[in-house]
Structure 1
Amino acid sequence: MTPRKDQIPADHFFSADLRVGRIVTVEAFPEARRPAYRIQVDFGPAGTLWTSAQVTNYSPEELKDRLVVGVINLPGKRIAGRTSEFLLLGSYADGGLVHLLSPAAEATPGDAVG
């Protein structure tokens, strides 16, 4: 189990721009040190962004068209020569397995999460 983190001021949390998106592209990412995909997500009016994610416990077919939650206002991060433009959110099970967070089925790309 991951220990609880220190408290932060509420404005730190509320400055994160969390949005609903729909996965539109899933590509193999063999350049990454750990097994990962390059994933493109449509965040509606907020734009379409790319990230890399260690979510290979899902098949590309399971990921395509899936609604997800991402943090879209973090600075880009270079991973294996590519820029990751947002953070895809999920929970970590014991052993590091990632379970993606899923918004309600009626959510639409671009919806704010708060």
Structure 2
Amino acid sequence: MEHQSGNILEWQDFEKVAMHVGTIIAVTDFPEARKPAYQLVIDFGTEIGIKKSSAQITKRYAKEDLISKQIIAVVNFPKKQIGTFMSECLVLGSVGNDNDIVLLTSDLKVENGLRIG
């Protein structure tokens, strides 16, 4: 059975979403967040650079387990102010019950900044 959630995208719409691979290089607690979250610093390679993000992934991930993990993120959304923190990209993950998020990752180590498409 085909599942549709919302409107059908045109291919040109999908091409506008810049999803890239990055490596988490720093993780800190984010006590000011309304829901438990970490502040992440992610290296997307020389072309995109270093970006920060807030992620509600504290249920499944310890800070030390996130260092050097390659993740997938959308890097061309506008920056978003979250409390005192400016989020510069959207880290992607599957969202289960009770906001239980599992990060989208690369199963093999690849170059930071590679585009997903």
Class of the TM-score when normalised by the shorter of the 2 chains: over 0.9
- The code of the aligned residue for 2:31 comes to P
- Is structure 2 residue 91 aligned with structure 1 residue 54? no
1:43 alignment counterpart: 44
After TM superposition, the score normalised by the length of structure 1 is 0.93
Aligned residue among 105, 113, 116 for 1:113: 116
CA distance in 2, matches of 1:83, 1:66: 21
What whole-Å deviation, never above 9, does each CA across 1:70-96 have from its counterpart, x for those lacking one? Answer: 111110000012110000000011221
Structure 2 unaligned residues grouped into runs of 5+ = none
Comparing 103-112 with 65-74, which one deviates more in the overlay? 103-112
What whole-Å deviation, never above 9, does each CA across 1:30-54 have from its counterpart, x for those lacking one? Answer: 0111100000000002100001010
- The code of the aligned residue for 1:6 comes to N
Q: CA RMSD in A?
A: 1.4
- The code of the aligned residue for 1:15 comes to K
SS of the aligned residue for 1:68 comes to: strand
- The code of the aligned residue for 1:51 comes to S
Shift of 1:20: 0.4
Structure 1 unaligned residues grouped into runs of 5+ = none
Shift of 1:106: 3.1
The percentage of aligned residue pairs carrying the same residue is: 35
Aligned residue among 74, 77, 94 for 1:74: 77
After TM superposition, the score normalised by the length of structure 2 is 0.91
